[in-house]
Amino acid sequence: MQCAFKGNSTYGYLGSCVKRARYFQMASHPWCNVSFGGIGSSALRFGVYKYLQLIGTFSSDLKYRFGYVAHHDEELREWEQDQTTFLETRATHHILESLPSHNCIVVTGSSGCGKSSNIHHAALHLRDSLEYEIIPVLTGPTDIMNYYNRNKKQVFVVDDIFGKETINTQTLQMWRDYSEKLGKIFGVAETDVRSISDGTISKISNPRLLISCRLHINKESQFQRIALFTKKVFNLLSPELCLLEAERIHMLHKYLPDDIIDNIKQVKENFDYFPLLCKLSKDKTCEEVEKLFTAPLDSIKTDIITIIDTNKEHFCALVLCILFNDGFDTDWLKLGSVSEKEKKDKLEHIVKEFDIDLSKERHRNSLKAGFSTLH
């Protein structure tokens, strides 16, 4: 892994000291006649206390970055697995076609309509076709500032940017605070415009920002005030992009055998959350699938009751997903990784109700497995 600490003179200064220290260590090796005091000698340049303070910061940052990479890899594996059942629709084609000319793309729509699946597909397309590095944004715009590297082709991916049911004002303010810097990073470049006009789309290399956002949040005036997020928006429920009947049939074939599909009489009804219903239908019986598409809420309610009655870890995972409505990161199951006290207290209180002890690895692993069943 390569860690680049750009735009921070502290890290640059520390780096130069560490390089000098390595030289001192080599020079003090038994086969060398010159003797130095090792890394400690470098500390004399700016005081022992400051040196130790910087080393502590540097060490914590490295732990965070290595932890981020582990979570990042796990997330990408889930996206790749989802691609096995993903169907490219006309909306998908429009999104892919806009990638060369737009550095920031927002995909909006209702819950379950395929917003996240489409931006994940677009990111994987950039990776596989143009060698982009994918950076899932987990904590906010600071992830972009920390991991942006102008010497790399990168695509940053943000799911449910300001929350799901309502706008998270704290998150909104964070993005506002960084909007000017983000505008400079993701501004449309002349090189990209030229690459389209001369047909050399494969040359594009500028960073990309792909965002999913629920429609009611996208329409909020607070969202519209961030100019970067209004440049290119795809509404998956619009007449131009909503699922066609043929696309719905093809999508069903990704999840179900032909004999079950033939028995779904209501498939012609275009639910906004049709992609979600397809995902939920996988591995169900013909009767269960028919019930899911005719009375989806009743079917989902039955599934929830089954979870409640049969597995406390699955039930706890479901409760955490509901009560942390801005999303739950399974890394938080290691309580030391939760920085916000309010969030940590909330998590501890919930798991206590289920007699789950997060200090025990076995309990953490069982609860983490519970989340995988909710995907």
- Which residue, among 158, 14, 132, 17, has the nearest Cα to 75 in the 3D structure? 158
What values do phi and psi take at 109, rounded to 5? 155, -175
How far apart, in whole angstroms, are the C-alpha atoms of residue 321 and residue 333? 13
> Which residue pairs from 218-223 have beta carbons closer than 8 angstroms and sit at least 24 positions apart in sequence?
218/106, 218/108, 220/167, 222/162, 222/167, 222/172, 223/162, 223/167, 223/172
Domains of the chain: 9-70 (no CATH), 86-235 (3.40.50.300), 247-372 (no CATH)
The one-digit pLDDT tens for each residue of the chain (375 residues) are 334 333 344 334 434 434 433 433 433 443 344 333 444 444 444 444 444 444 444 444 444 444 556 667 888 999 999 999 999 999 999 999 999 999 999 999 998 999 999 999 999 999 999 999 999 998 899 999 999 999 999 999 999 998 887 788 888 999 999 999 999 999 854 444 445 545 444 456 799 999 999 998 888 888 899 999 999 999 999 999 999 989 999 999 999 998 888 877 555 566 888 999 999 888 889 888 888 888 777 767 777 777 777 778 888 888 888 777 667 777 788 877 777 788 888 888 888 888 888 888 888 888 888 777 665
Extract the tokens encoding 26: 């080599």
